[in-house]
Amino acid sequence: MVKILIVDDSKFAQKVTASLIERSLDDVRFDFASDGEEGVNKFRSGHPDFLIVDLLMPKLRGQDLIKKVKEMDRQAKIIVVSADVQTRVEDEVSKMGVLSFINKPLNEEKVKEIADIIRNDVR
């Protein structure tokens, strides 16, 4: 069983992300957080195997969430899924040790990339 925490302030994005990943991966369980602060708390209490994180969120930005999570666990596995298409933002976030930076909206190809990352890591 792979535990995935999706941190996104949009319920729509949470639902789309979870249902697309569910189609590509067996034996996954999702938990959800609607802002960065809740994301940090749920990471601390739930110890998910992977985090899928948006960047532009209330209370705590995705970048700050990544920083806090990495301070707690350098090996935390984080995939960023964001609408921000700026290359500078992608460069900045990639240097924080995330597994991948993927632009919204998700489609089958992008979900396959996420599923492959998770599948290869679990093996």
Residue 97 in the binding site for other proteins (CB under 8 A): no
Residue placing its CB nearer to other proteins in the complex, 70 or 110: 110
CB 66 within 8 A of CB 98: yes
Q: Where are the beta strands (DSSP E) in the chain?
A: 2-7, 28-33, 50-53, 78-82, 100-103
Number of residues this chain uses to bind other proteins (CB under 8 A): 19
Return the CA Rg of the chain: 13
Residue 87 in the binding site for other proteins (CB under 8 A): yes
Stretch that binds other proteins, among 20-28, 40-48, 67-75, 105-113 (CB under 8 A): 105-113
Distance CA 16, CA 107 (A): 10
- In whole angstroms, the minimum distance from the beta carbon of 18 to other proteins comes to 14
The DSSP symbol for 106 reads P
Q: Which residues pair with 51 in a beta bridge?
A: 5, 78
Stretch that binds other proteins, among 20-28, 43-51, 103-111, 114-122 (CB under 8 A): 103-111
Please list every residue from 29 through 68 that binds other proteins, using CB under 8 A: 56-58
- Given the rule CB under 8 A, which residues bind other proteins? 9-13, 56-58, 83-89, 104-107
